[in-house]
Amino acid sequence: MTASTLTQAFLNTVKNHSSNISLLSKINGEYQGIDYNELGQRVKNLALGLASLGIEKGDKVSIVAENRAEWTISDLAILSLGAVNVPIYPTLSPKHMEYILKDADSKIVIVSTAELADKIIEIFDNLPQLEHLLYMEYYSEPKAFMLYFDYLFEKGAEFEKENPGYYEKATAAIDPDDPCAIVYTSGTTGDPKGAVLSHANIFSNVKGGVETLNIRSSDRFLSFLPLCHVFERMGGQFCPLYAGGSIAYAESVEKVAQNLTEAQPTIMCSVPRLFEKMYTKILENAESGSAIKKKIFYWALRTGEKYAAAQRHAKPGNILSIKQQLAQELVYSKIQQKFGGRLRYFISGGAPLTKEIGEFFHAMGVMILEGYGLTESSPVIAVNEEGKMKFGTVGPPLSKAGVEVKIAEDGEILSRGPHIMKGYYKNPEATREVIDEDGWLHTGDIGFLDEDGYLVITDRKKNIIVTSGGKNVAPAAIENSLLTSPYIEQILIIGDKRNFLSALIFPNWELINTFCEQNNISYQSPEDLVQHEQIVQKIGDEIDRLGSSFARFEQIKAFRLIAEPLSIAAGELTPTLKIKRKIVESKYTDLIEEMYA
């Protein structure tokens, strides 16, 4: 049967790729997988187990868990009943979880750990519509409303005996226009809004993505970005499932580097922050090596840059090709092995990728395909393709998915097509604010289409700084440039309605520590260094070096160093690592005013 829903697409994969490995988890120190035949049976049993609890088409079920095989199995089971998955970030506070569960009318919540179960128990009495809490891992004294996750598989097998053919009827009854997800935008301001996405919304993106990026049944993905976010769920889950590929789950963000070498993925979705950290680490290692190793590294880098440039314009010459092969053996291969040795490409999204970093990795034989999208667009609007990349752009619109893009008079990017959400859940007013009468989604991002039809993002519309002198500044470009400094971990540029730009800078304390050792600077903690003359001078030199190419009104005239890095736990970053500007500015108001005193 030709698929028109995510559920039917999955059932087709189970039928056509039954013996392929589907999901892999780290067990007893090594990655072990299950095939599609077994995955299909587990999904069916869990779906029928949920049906035995009264879940039916249109009902809402929430998942609160880190990335793991059970997340994907739960997602597929929920969808196969025609129910709606309302994913929740496990890092959220009980208060924020309560808001989403209540707003979305979730009837069941599935959690992984005892710690997450305790968060739900804390708010359970405030949620009259919530009927059950399913827990994946051991819980010592479960409440009456709690059920062990594995128990549902047994319940499902029993339910099928009493209701033969129920699963097949449920999956066949799903319409492409039926909602399959309510994804609450993390947002940098205000209460989150639930974007209602249909099977057709996400599936159009999946089909277009698989075709455009040539995703194959032989591909293996490493999943570490939150599955709660539609980028990982569409790109890192549904795309490989549709293609018949496999998914290995990272143990944690901290173990991604280790898991890359163990799982040996061919594709991985990521965010620019990871590449920035990798870039810094590679340069650190190069700088700390012997003089000859350092010389070879930078020779290899220059060779890679020349080779990449020659590939874009013509076929590289014989001498350059020989140099490239030598650089591959001496330098590139060692870096590629850090990514498992089989990597075809990374897919980067969630925030702008610095052009310099994209070019750096490409020179090293590591391909990063940058894309762009929003939760409300399921999510991909544009993406670069293998062999057709343009650094500094997010690629052409995903035309194979029916995506249209145009630029409004004020520079805002608009998009229309089958990928645009049905609307915000129970919030028609907010829906009308972002989707106009002609069906165009107003993204809130500023950008343009270049001469080749590639989309270039300038900044968020609301982030544009207008100085007191009337100059418009897009801070993202400046911030991204400064983030290429290995000494700068995070940065926030200030300057709206001010007469010059300033910055809050969160240094890379690991590298600052090395600098201190080299310069005999003694200290007890980072707090001792934020006003240290040599450290301030070092960061100032980096700002001058990387900011010199910008216009005078775009250059930073003052900055303050901050000891404590921004974090998700403190509410300063979204789960996709975007800075919540208003919250951070509010927290450091005194420091900001000091710079303008």
Query: What DSSP string describes 474-501?
Result: -HHHHHHHHTTSTTEEEEEEE-TTSSSE
Same domain flag for 172 and 320: no
CA gap 50, 151 in Å, rounded? 11
- Spans of the chain, pLDDT less than 50: 188
Is 243 within a domain? Answer: no
Q: Name the domain boundary from 176, 199, 222.
A: 199
Residues 517 and 377 in one domain: no
- Measured CA distances, 275 to 37, 268, 288, 355, 426 (Å): 36, 12, 20, 12, 38
The closest of 485, 478, 463 to 555, measured between CA atoms, is 478
CA 556, CA 482: separation in Å to the nearest integer? 11
As beta bridge partners, residue 457 has 447
- Asked whether residue 170 falls in the same domain as residue 36, the answer is yes
Give the pLDDT confidence score for residue 188 in this predicted structure.
47
Q: Are residues 49 and 92 in the same domain?
A: yes
Is 233 in contact with 378 (CB distance < 8 Å)? no
68: in domain: yes
| Amino acid in the structure at residue 573 | L
Whether 434 and 564 map to the same domain: the answer is: no
pLDDT at 189: 52
Pair (157, 287) in one structural domain: no
430's CB contacts (< 8 A; 6+ apart) are: 193, 424
Cα dist from 20 to 24, 39, 238, whole Å: 11, 10, 15
What's 532's domain CATH number? Answer: 3.30.300.30
253 inside domain? no
Length of the chain: 597
> Of 430, 459, 488, which marks where a domain is finished?
459
* DSSP β-ladder status, 132-135 and 220-223: unpaired
Domain stops at, among 199, 216, 231? 199
The verdict on residue 497 lying in a domain is: yes
Q: What is the pLDDT of residue 41?
A: 98
Residues 293 and 159 in one domain: no
Instruction: Output the pLDDT for position 386.
Output: 93
Instruction: State how beta strands 267-270 and 345-348 pair.
Output: parallel
Would residue 115 count as lying in a domain?
A: yes
Q: Could you tell me which residues are beta bridge partners of residue 248? A: 24, 222
Tell whether 238 is covered by a domain.
no
Position 391 in a domain: yes
Whether residue 384 is found in the same domain as residue 489: no
For residues 455 and 486, state if they share a domain. no
Contact 185, 195 (CB under 8 A): yes
Of 259, 268, 201, 262, the residue nearest 240 (C-alpha): 268
Whether residues 445 and 474 fall in one domain: no
Residue 262 placed within a domain:
no
Q: Return the pLDDT at 350.
A: 86
Range(s) of the domain holding residue 532: 464-595
Residues 485 and 454 in one domain: no
Q: Are 170 and 163 in contact (CB under 8 A)?
A: no
Question: What is the identity of the amino acid at 162?
Answer: E
Please report, for the domain that includes residue 98, its CATH number: 3.40.50.12780
Looking at the structure of the chain, the number of domains it has is 3
> Which amino acid makes up residue 168?
E
For residue 370, list its beta bridge partners: 348
Q: Give the per-residue pLDDT at 282.
A: 94
**Residue 250 in contact with residue 226, Cβ under 8 Å?**
no
* Co-location of 433 and 505 in the same domain: no
